[in-house]
C-alpha cells in the first residue's frame, strides 16, 4: 500500500469481527428486564453496571476458549472506545478521560474477578448466594431492587453463553 492510499484510504479495523458481539452485549445490557424486573437503576451508573456485568460474563466465556482470547482483547478495545466517546459526549475533558477510563477498566476487571469466583462455586444455595452477593456489590439498584433477580439473570446469561460455540458468540447470537 503506498503512502497516499494509507493516508487517504480506509484502513481496516481489526475489531470488525467482534463488533456484532459488542453490539449484542450493549443490547443485552439495555434490556428492560434489568431495570423493570431486577430493579437496576436506570441511571448512568446503573446502566454502566448492567453493561459491565454482561460484558464480564461474555469475557469470562471467551477466556475459556483459546481461539477467543485475542478477540476478547478486541472486545475490550471496543468497550474502551465506547466509554471514551460517552465520557467526551458528557463533557469530560481530555485531561481527565484517561483517568476515568482507567477507573472504568478497573471496575470491569473487578466484576470479571467477582463473577469468576462466584460462578466457580457449585450450583445450588451456595452458588446462588455467591451470585447474589456479586449483584449486591456490583449493581446500582433502585429502592426495592432485588439482587436475587439480578443474580438469576446473570446465571441465565452465563448458562446461555456456555452453550454457544465460539462462532455463535462472535456473531452475537446470544438468545436470552
Neighbours of 126 (CB within 10 A): 11
Rounded CA-CA distance 128/45 in Å is: 24
Rounded CA-CA distance 25/135 in Å is: 18
- Is residue 67 scored above 70 in pLDDT? yes
Burial class (CB in 10 A: 0-12, 13-18, 19+), 100: middle
Q: Is residue 127 included in any domain, yes or no? A: yes
pLDDT band at 68 (very low <50, low <70, confident <90, very high): very high
**Which one, of 125, 132, 129, lies nearest residue 153 by Cα?**
132
Q: Is residue 9 included in any domain, yes or no? A: no
Q: Is residue 131 included in any domain, yes or no? A: yes
Q: Is residue 141 included in any domain, yes or no? A: yes
Sign of the dihedral defined by the CA atoms of residues 150, 84, 173, 66, in that order:
negative
Tally of domains within the chain: 1
- Is residue 101 scored above 70 in pLDDT? yes
Name residue, grid cell 500500500: 1
Residue 42 is classified by DSSP as: S
R_g over Cα of the chain = 17
Rounded CA-CA distance 147/6 in Å is: 51
Rounded CA-CA distance 50/28 in Å is: 9
Name residue, grid cell 470479571: 112
Name residue, grid cell 483517568: 99
- Is residue 5 scored above 60 in pLDDT? no
Mean pLDDT of the chain, nearest integer: 89
Reported as a single tens digit per residue, the pLDDT across 35-66 is 999 999 999 999 999 999 999 999 999 999 99
Q: Is residue 171 included in any domain, yes or no? A: no
pTM: 0.88
Q: Is residue 8 included in any domain, yes or no? A: no
- Residue 58's contacts (CB-CB under 8 Å, 6 or more residues apart) are 21, 25, 75, 161, 169, 174
Neighbours of 128 (CB within 10 A): 16
Q: Is residue 159 included in any domain, yes or no? A: yes
Give the residue numbers spanning the domain of 58.
17-164
Q: Is residue 56 included in any domain, yes or no? A: yes
Rounded CA-CA distance 103/15 in Å is: 23
Amino acid at each position: 500500500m503506498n503512502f497516499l492510499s494509507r493516508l487517504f484510504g480506509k484502513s481496516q479495523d481489526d475489531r470488525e469481527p467482534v463488533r456484532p458481539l459488542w453490539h449484542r452485549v450493549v443490547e443485552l445490557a439495555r434490556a428492560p428486564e434489568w431495570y423493570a424486573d431486577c430493579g437496576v437503576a436506570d441511571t448512568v451508573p446503573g446502566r454502566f453496571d448492567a453493561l459491565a456485568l454482561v460484558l464480564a460474563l461474555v469475557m469470562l466465556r471467551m477466556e475459556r476458549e483459546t481461539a477467543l482470547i485475542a478477540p476478547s482483547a478486541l472486545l475490550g478495545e471496543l468497550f474502551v472506545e465506547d466509554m471514551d466517546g460517552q465520557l467526551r459526549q458528557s463533557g469530560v475533558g481530555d485531561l481527565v478521560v484517561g483517568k476515568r477510563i482507567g477507573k472504568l477498566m478497573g471496575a470491569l476487571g473487578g466484576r470479571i474477578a467477582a463473577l469468576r469466583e462466584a460462578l466457580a462455586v457449585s450450583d445450588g444455595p451456595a452458588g446462588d448466594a455467591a451470585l447474589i452477593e456479586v449483584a449486591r456489590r456490583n449493581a446500582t439498584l433502585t429502592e426495592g431492587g432485588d439482587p436475587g433477580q439480578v443474580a438469576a439473570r446473570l446465571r441465565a446469561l452465563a448458562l446461555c453463553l456456555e452453550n454457544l460455540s465460539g462462532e455463535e458468540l462472535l456473531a452475537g447470537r446470544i438468545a436470552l
